[in-house]
Amino acid sequence: MPHSDIHKKKLRKNLTIALMIFLWCALIWAVTMIKIARADDYQGGSRMAHQIKMLDTQQQWQDDYQKKAGMRDIVFSAREQARHRQLDKNTNSHGIWNQIWSDKSAVRLDNENNRDNQRQSHLDHITENPQQWWSIWTQHQQEKSEKP
């Protein structure tokens, strides 16, 4: 596509906007550099007053921390004691739960053994008398189909 007058106008407009953005950034940069250069003597010694205030604040913070340190140790020891009490309680209840579970497991194991023994004796009886069991099963199926 050939360049026309519209392309030249848009190029001129785009370059103007880019130059304005660049000049704005340069202005902000220049103002920042001037402020940084004057930072040491800004407001005639207020920087020193600020540093002294910060040192006093730091000392107050350290004193406050020392006062609270004793309380922190008390809270930590109370928390540890509570945690050990809970662990002891959990250990005792865990032992009781294990006992109950093992009793239930023993009963269940006995029931499963009984059921397995009954099933095996039933299978042995079927293999010994297959004709008898076949007749009983067919009779049962007929009775089921006759019921509405």
Quick one: pLDDT at residue 91? 67
Asked if residues 133 and 126 have their Cβ atoms less than 8 Å apart, the reply is yes
Q: How many CB atoms lie within 10 A of CB 38?
A: 9
Q: Is the pTM of this model over 0.85?
A: no
pLDDT for the residue numbered 48 = 66
Give the orientation angle of helix 46-128 with respect to helix 130-146, to 10 degrees: 110
pLDDT digit string (tens) for the chain, length 148 residues: 577 888 889 999 999 999 999 999 999 999 999 888 876 655 555 666 766 777 777 777 777 777 777 777 888 888 888 888 887 776 666 667 777 777 777 777 888 888 888 888 888 877 887 788 788 888 888 888 887 6
Total residue count of the chain as it appears in this document: 148
Q: Are 40 and 47 in contact (CB under 8 A)?
A: yes
pLDDT computed for residue 14 by the predictor: 96
- Write down the pLDDT at residue 112: 84
